[in-house]
Amino acid sequence: MLEMKFIRQNADVIQEVANQKRIQISIPDLLACDEKKRKLLQETERLRSQRNSLSQQISQLVQQGKKDEIAGIRDQVKGINEQLVAVEAALTVVESEYNQWMNLVPNVVSPDTPIGQSDEDNVEVKRVGEIPTFDYEFLDHVTLGEMHEMIDIPRGVKVAGTRNYFLKGAGLYLHRAVQQMTLDYLVERGFTPMDVPLIVRSEALDGTGFFPLGEDTTFKMADEGKWLVGTSEVPLVSYFRDEIVDVTEPIHLAAVSTCFRSEVGSAGKDVRGLYRVHQFAKVEQVLFCENDPEVSEALLQEITQHAEDILQLLELPYRVVAVCTGDMSQKTYKQYDIETWMPSRNAYGETHSSSNLHDFQARRSNIRYRDKDGQLKYCHTLNNTAVASPRILIPLLENHQREDGSVYIPKALRPYMGNKEALFLNNLTLK
């Protein structure tokens, strides 16, 4: 959420950003609604002040015993009350309209954010690692997973419908190993590890900027008014909702959680394999810091580097891209995506995302701190996907496969994989 004063001063810029982010909002209509709201508030205050003044007169007349003068004033108070009822009713309608508009206002974007319409317009920042070449017919992760009896998609579909799967044996170990390795990495760097609620109230999704525009991608609990989260960013940020926090040093939180997404709008897209599924797990970084663009920019670089370090530990080739306006969400000020090479796609596929939201989220969630002068300010918040599985299993299996069908295990993962150097077809257990 942006401050109304800022919206008034930057109306044209915000409208342009809304258009680029494909958000259906008219900033002029919002400003007109705001003006109407302010006039109704002024009228409400004027009428209440007038009523209070008349009530005091009545009290004084009663004390003076001048009861014959009271009736006329009471008639005036009655007339004012009738006006107040009408004005307050109009104000309620206008405030509802105003709140609907405000919930659609996008965050502004950083000066170095590329202008574009889709992920095709994202700008590559750098590439790391060598793309593998195969002098034999390589296998995709589904085939490898079936050969090693670690992925079962047909039974996942049988039990839960499309975009579902079972992981078993070494597949489950890999799934858990990348998460635990990542969590250990973050804890060593000062993050507080957390287990979080996966079912939240709508206020948590509103406050973090996932609603109202993300409702169609979120699973709702029947008759509960609650929702399954698509990222632990929601409960981690909401942990401090309506609180005053200490950000003398930035707050670093990390959660391992299951996540759920309905994938509405992706029918027919990425239907084979584990790239786009309804249920997955993430290790998420969430940071809170002072309201200083230089501080939050430095932290954005820091958490992005953490994700890069994880990929380097997994010995995977990847690239970092600056996300363009048309590929950004409503809440994002600046974003990097990290895409890992996936041989079966013959392309890089998104595996990580890193965002700086400035104070947009904190305003919606009412998370503040006191600056050195004791003044209350809204925090800056940031988030990053340190690792997401089973999507990360795609490049892990495909890039590290060998001609004999075995799969190399990166050194950093071996302590979590029974110290195995590779997964072999003639030995499908880690024992």
Q: Which residues are marked as active site?
A: 261, 276, 350, 353, 391
Backbone angles phi, psi at 137, to 5 degrees: -75, 110
Structure tokens at 68: 């014959």
Distance CA 171, CA 346 (A): 23
Structure tokens at 220: 């709702």
CA-based R_g, the chain, Å: 28
Structure tokens at 396: 């892990």
Whether the Cβ atoms of residue 257 and residue 232 lie closer than 8 Å to each other: yes
**DSSP β-ladder status, 199-201 and 380-389:** unpaired
Distance CA 372, CA 369 (A): 10
- Mapped onto helix, strand or coil, the DSSP state of residue 429 is coil
Burial call 163-199: b when 16+ CB within 10 Å, e when fewer: bebbbbbbbebbbbbbbebbbebbeeeebeebebeee
Distance CA 37, CA 139 (A): 62
Backbone angles phi, psi at 343, to 5 degrees: -55, -40
Structure tokens at 183: 């969590």
**DSSP β-ladder status, 192-194 and 251-260:** parallel
Tell me the helices (H) and strands (E) count for the chain, helix number first.
12, 16
Whether the Cβ atoms of residue 348 and residue 124 lie closer than 8 Å to each other: no
Structure tokens at 116: 């574009």
Distances (CA, A) of 321 to 27, 108, 115, 327: 30, 19, 13, 11
Distance CA 301, CA 14 (A): 25
State the number of CA atoms in the 13 A half-sphere of 430 facing the CB.
20
Whether omega for the bond prior to residue 343 falls within 30 degrees of 0, making it cis, is no
Burial call 50-69: b when 16+ CB within 10 Å, e when fewer: ebeeeeeebeeeeeeeeeee
Distance CA 415, CA 329 (A): 38
